Amino acid sequence: MEQIPFISSAPNTLGIELELQLIDPRSFDLTAASDELLAQMANHPIADRVKPEITRSMIELNSSVHEHPMGLLAEMREMRDALVEAADAVGVSVAGGGAHPFMRWQERSISDTPRFQYLAEMYGYLARQFTVFGQHIHLGVKSGDEAIKLLRRLSPYVPHFIALSASSPYCEGVDTLFSCSRLNAVNSFPLAGHMPADVKDWYQFEAHLAQLRAYGLAESIKDLYWDIRPKPEFGTVEIRVCDTPLTVERACQIAAFAQALAVLLMREEDPSDKAWLSYRSNHFQACRFGLQGSYVTPDGQRLRLMDHLRALFQRLMPVAEELGTGDMIATLRDDAMRSGNDARWLRNQFHRLRDLPLVVESMSQAWRGESPQVAAPAEPTAVLRRRIRATSEPMQPLSAAEPGVTATLPERLH
């Protein structure tokens, strides 16, 4: 059996990747402008950390390695500003969000790299439907065994990451009724999902991958579209379920949350095997209902995800204070509990504007760090495609869940 070398990293270090939307500033649809944007940035100091993605309407920002999320935030703000300046120069806009609200997958163009062309040939239309946008969070670990241990311990908290980051309620002009519709595209791939429950150390992971190779089911770790997977060449565990937030501030707050959670969990016991029983149901609930979804704990208790998350934040705060990230995590907590996630903000924008292109404009303004300035149209605009009326997240209204808190979201994001 071939051994997979694992490059040791300093524990508790972190980095992120952000997949971003390239927007036509006139139609607010996606535009195939990644080649022009990459050429514009070719001589910039951060050029090696701006990369193409599977279709030409996408771009990816990669951070460097950080010990503290505040350093990550400073870097991401600089990278955002450089990207926005280059995008302005080539006549496009940039936005976060897990999915473009009204793009059509048929109109997407595959990037001209060998791997992306292979994926297009292998997966057909799924490759173009994969024009969705996620945040990946890398957490440093010292060994392969530590990576598998952390991966297993993080797995029961996948719904928390989904609900906190959800920002893809609209797809192809329709309110999907999901907080996170993006993961439905990811889950179409045959090796999506989670690491097998019986893999408990690095040797067993190597054996599992060797078996997949022997059966012709995978060639490398890149073929594993797991929610969380090891990244041995980086020495990290990679959390892959987050939608790209609308701002770099929220992205770095979620990274700080992941770092503190990893520290907390590595001090605790491995979850029982029963934790995997509710994995798919909890995953669906978080995608569909966001913070208002139901959550089944490893011991079989059923409660609202928001309530479980509230208790988790209480456990996390002492760790956050140790790490010096108490303010960032408290801000994430307060925003989530009072205002909900970015999906809720986007629905609020649509309720106000009644026009999805104007919602996309507000997304691009939020990414620049500006408060949305678009005004609601004086008269109803023509509908580009069929839309379902945006609804608040089900199960229990926010105003009922939190006495004294209104469901109207602030105009300022994060």
Q: How many residues does the chain have?
A: 414
Angle at CA of residue 166, ends 330 and 339, nearest 5°: 45
pLDDT at 26: 96
| Residue 43 near residue 92 (C-beta atoms within 8 A) | no
The range of the structural domain enclosing residue 205 comes to 104-368
In a domain, 61, yes or no: no
In a domain, 356, yes or no: yes
Q: What is the DSSP string of 58-86?
A: EEEEE---BSSHHHHHHHHHHHHHHHHHH
- Per-residue confidence at 376, pLDDT binned at 50, 70, 90? low
pLDDT at 123: 81
CATH of the domain at 159: 3.30.590.20
What's the number of CA atoms in the CB half-sphere (13 Å) around residue 238? 19
CB contact burial 317-350 (16+ within 10 A = b; e otherwise): bebbeebebbebbbebbebbbebbbbbbbbbbbb
pLDDT at 392: 39
In a domain, 374, yes or no: no
pLDDT at 394: 39
Q: If you average pLDDT over every residue of the chain, what do you get?
A: 90
The number of angstroms, rounded, from the C-alpha of 51 to the middle of its chain's C-alpha atoms is 17
Which range, of 132-141, 199-208, 267-276, averages the lowest pLDDT?
Answer: 267-276
| Residue 17 near residue 61 (C-beta atoms within 8 A) | yes
| Residue 271 near residue 152 (C-beta atoms within 8 A) | yes
Angle at CA of residue 386, ends 381 and 387, nearest 5°: 80
Model confidence at 388: pLDDT above 80:
no
In a domain, 57, yes or no: no
In a domain, 286, yes or no: yes
SS3 302: strand
Task: Quick: pLDDT tens for 128-183.
Answer: 888 999 999 999 999 999 999 999 999 999 999 999 999 999 999 999 999 999 99
Task: Quick: pLDDT tens for 273-300.
Answer: 888 999 999 999 999 999 999 999 988 9
Model confidence at 390: pLDDT above 70:
no
Model confidence at 232: pLDDT above 90:
yes
- Per-residue confidence at 375, pLDDT binned at 50, 70, 90? low
In a domain, 401, yes or no: no
Model confidence at 24: pLDDT above 80:
yes
Model confidence at 406: pLDDT above 60:
no
pLDDT at 130: 84
pLDDT at 271: 84
| Residue 119 near residue 54 (C-beta atoms within 8 A) | yes
Quote helix, strand, coil % in the chain, to nearest 5. 45, 15, 40
Q: DSSP code of 377? A: P
Which range, of 199-203, 235-239, 370-374, averages the lowest pLDDT?
Answer: 370-374
pLDDT at 279: 96
In a domain, 244, yes or no: yes
Neighbouring-strand partners of residue 21: 58, 95
pLDDT at 413: 67
pTM, to two decimals: 0.90
Which range, of 3-7, 216-220, 270-274, averages the lowest pLDDT?
Answer: 270-274
For residue 58, which amino acid is it? M
Q: Which residues of 24-158 form beta strands (DSSP E)?
A: 50-52, 58-62, 93-95, 134-140
In a domain, 409, yes or no: no
Question: Structural domain tally of the chain?
Answer: 1
| Neighbouring C-beta atoms of residue 266, cutoff 10 Å | 16
pLDDT at 144: 98
Task: Quick: pLDDT tens for 29-49.
Answer: 999 999 999 999 999 999 999
Task: Quick: pLDDT tens for 68-95.
Answer: 999 999 999 999 999 999 999 999 999 9
| Residue 240 near residue 134 (C-beta atoms within 8 A) | yes
pLDDT at 333: 98
When pLDDT is averaged across residues 194-223 and rounded to a whole number, the result is 95
